[in-house]
Structure formats: structure tokens, C-alpha cells
């Protein structure tokens, strides 16, 4: 009997160790399971939010004034201004005339339309409009170029509400505040008015750009008071996509 009692003690000790080991292991497994579930949730959330990264604002502007000054550095560059008014003048007018004639053929632009060209620099767009029969048109840029272009900031247009039938721009990439850029277009467009944007989706814009656009989806979200009419591929001085919205009546 004595020998039997002695041999049973190690067996009882092992059983206790196994029992306590299981008790300790269960909470650890539950913790790890919960952690993995949390990680999966975070990963899913991060993936779904990537759709909002199709419009990225470039860093490097400490103040709005520094942003404006950088834009002015390009617009006032004497070498560029000479190119815009000589070598590029007729070529750009021909290309813009083609674009505007296509808009006329689709009945989006009429000869009676009142048109604003945003970021028009030297006014080639305005001259092109006049050549296709749309005489009531004006350009807007930080630096005026009379009589084709008046002074204005596209983040805060100097025009009344519901003033234009059509607004055209190929400088969306220069907007530091895209939502303000779009809201000003929608403010100054008449109900039923059309906005035509030329943007770059397949390549990055120049060093003076303030944002990078990777799809049309951010534009659809920004135009809260308008509906998308169509998109198409174009070849417009480095810009590859035409996006057209109509302001709801």
C-alpha cells in the first residue's frame, strides 16, 4: 500500500499541471483570436477607404499666399508668356476650336451661350469660342489679359450666381481646394448649365499642379448639384479626359 501511494503522487501532479495549463491556454487563445479579428477589421476599413485617394492634394504650401505666388510664378514667366502668345497661339486656338465645335454638335454649346473659361491665361480659349460663333465669352485668370481675360481666382469667382450657360476649364489640377473650385462653378452656372473639364488621369500634371486626380469618381462626389453627362478620351495638351456635368434645374 505504501508503494502504491508513492507512485500515485507523480500522476496526480501531472494531471494538475495539465489542468492548469489548459486554464492558462484558453484565455491566451481567446485573446489572440480577438486580436486577429480586430486586425482583419482594420485591414478591411483601410482597403475600403482607398477609393478616396483618387484625388490627392500635393504638400508644400504653407499658406494660401504661397500657393498663389507659385501659380503667379508660372503665369508671369516672360518666356512662357512669349510662347503662349506666339508659337502656341494659333496651335491652341485650332485645338480649342475643335473641342468647342464638338460641344456645339452635341448641343451642349450654342452660339447664344454665355461662356466662362477658367484659367484662360492669354485667352486662346476665348478667341477660339469667338471663331466658332460664340461671342459672349470671357476668360478668367490670376493675371488679366484684356480684352480676353479678366482677373479672378477660381476659388472665389468674381461673378454673380447663375451667370453662365457653360464653363470650361483645363486647370482643375491647379486647384488647391478642389471642393471650392467646383462649388464656385456650380454657384455661377445657370440651372441646366454645363461644365466641361479637361483633366489628366493616365499621367501626372506639371510641377505647378496642386492636386493629382486618378479617376472620375472624386469629381462625381464634388459636383453635388450636377449630374455627369459623359466622359471621353481627348488629346488636350497633356490632358487625356473630358468630363462633362450639367447643373440640375
The pLDDT value given to residue 237: 86
182 shares a domain with 86: yes
The mean pLDDT value for 136-151 works out to 97
pLDDT at 3 over 70: no
Least reliable range by pLDDT among 30-44, 102-116, 218-232: 30-44
Cell matching residue 210:
496642386
The pLDDT value given to residue 77: 94
The DSSP secondary-structure symbol of 213 reads E
86 shares a domain with 196: yes
CATH number at residue 147: 3.40.50.150
The pLDDT value given to residue 206: 79
Question: Which domain-ending residue is among 36, 53, 70?
Answer: 53
Question: Which domain-ending residue is among 13, 34, 53?
Answer: 53
The mean pLDDT value for 218-231 works out to 97
Residue 15, Cα to own-chain centre: how many angstroms? Answer: 67
- Does residue 190 sit in helix, strand or coil? strand
Give the integer Cα–Cα distance in Å for 178 and 163: 21
The pLDDT value given to residue 203: 80
Give the integer Cα–Cα distance in Å for 106 and 141: 28
19 shares a domain with 80: no
158 shares a domain with 103: yes
pLDDT band at 202 (very low <50, low <70, confident <90, very high): confident
91 shares a domain with 42: no
Residue 173: Cβ within 10 Å count: 23
216 shares a domain with 201: yes
156 shares a domain with 87: yes
Give the integer Cα–Cα distance in Å for 3 and 97: 109
pLDDT band at 238 (very low <50, low <70, confident <90, very high): confident
The mean pLDDT value for 202-210 works out to 83
213 shares a domain with 146: yes
Least reliable range by pLDDT among 18-22, 42-46, 133-137: 42-46
Report the share of the chain in percent with pLDDT over 90: 73
232 shares a domain with 139: yes
The pLDDT value given to residue 63: 95
Report the share of the chain in percent with pLDDT over 70: 79
Full domain range(s) for residue 37: 2-53
The mean pLDDT value for 143-153 works out to 97
Computed over every residue of the chain, the mean pLDDT equals 84
pLDDT in tens, 52-85: 789 999 998 999 999 999 999 999 999 999 999 9
Question: Which domain-ending residue is among 34, 53, 72?
Answer: 53
Rg of the chain, C-alpha, whole Å: 31
Tally of domains within the chain: 2
The pLDDT value given to residue 208: 87
CA angle 141, 207, 171 (to 5 degrees): 35
199 shares a domain with 239: yes
| Residue with more model confidence, 62 or 137 | 137
The mean pLDDT value for 24-52 works out to 39
pLDDT band at 31 (very low <50, low <70, confident <90, very high): very low
62 shares a domain with 46: no
62 shares a domain with 106: yes
Amino acid at each position: 500500500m505504501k508503494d502504491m501511494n508513492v507512485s500515485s503522487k507523480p500522476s496526480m501532479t501531472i494531471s494538475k499541471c495539465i489542468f492548469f495549463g489548459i486554464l492558462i491556454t484558453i484565455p491566451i487563445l481567446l485573446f489572440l483570436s480577438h486580436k486577429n479579428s480586430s486586425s482583419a477589421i482594420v485591414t478591411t476599413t483601410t482597403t475600403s477607404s482607398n477609393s478616396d485617394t483618387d484625388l490627392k492634394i500635393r504638400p508644400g504650401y504653407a499658406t494660401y499666399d504661397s500657393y498663389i505666388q507659385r501659380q503667379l510664378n508660372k503665369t508671369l514667366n516672360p518666356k512662357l508668356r512669349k510662347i503662349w502668345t506666339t508659337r502656341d497661339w494659333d496651335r491652341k486656338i485650332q485645338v480649342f476650336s475643335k473641342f468647342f465645335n464638338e460641344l456645339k454638335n452635341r448641343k451642349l454649346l450654342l452660339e447664344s451661350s454665355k461662356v466662362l473659361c477658367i484659367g484662360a491665361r492669354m485667352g486662346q480659349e476665348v478667341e477660339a469660342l469667338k471663331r466658332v460663333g460664340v461671342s459672349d465669352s470671357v476668360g478668367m485668370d490670376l493675371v488679366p489679359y484684356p480684352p480676353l481675360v479678366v482677373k479672378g481666382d477660381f476659388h472665389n469667382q468674381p461673378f454673380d450666381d447663375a451667370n453662365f450657360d457653360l464653363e470650361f476649364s483645363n486647370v482643375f489640377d491647379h486647384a488647391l481646394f478642389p471642393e471650392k473650385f467646383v462649388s464656385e462653378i456650380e454657384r455661377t452656372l445657370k440651372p441646366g448649365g454645363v461644365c466641361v473639364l479637361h483633366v489628366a488621369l493616365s499621367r501626372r500634371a506639371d510641377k505647378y499642379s496642386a492636386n493629382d486626380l486618378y479617376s472620375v469618381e472624386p469629381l462625381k462626389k464634388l459636383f453635388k448639384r450636377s449630374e455627369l453627362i459623359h466622359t471621353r478620351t481627348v488629346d488636350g495638351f497633356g490632358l487625356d479626359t473630358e468630363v462633362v456635368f450639367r447643373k440640375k434645374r
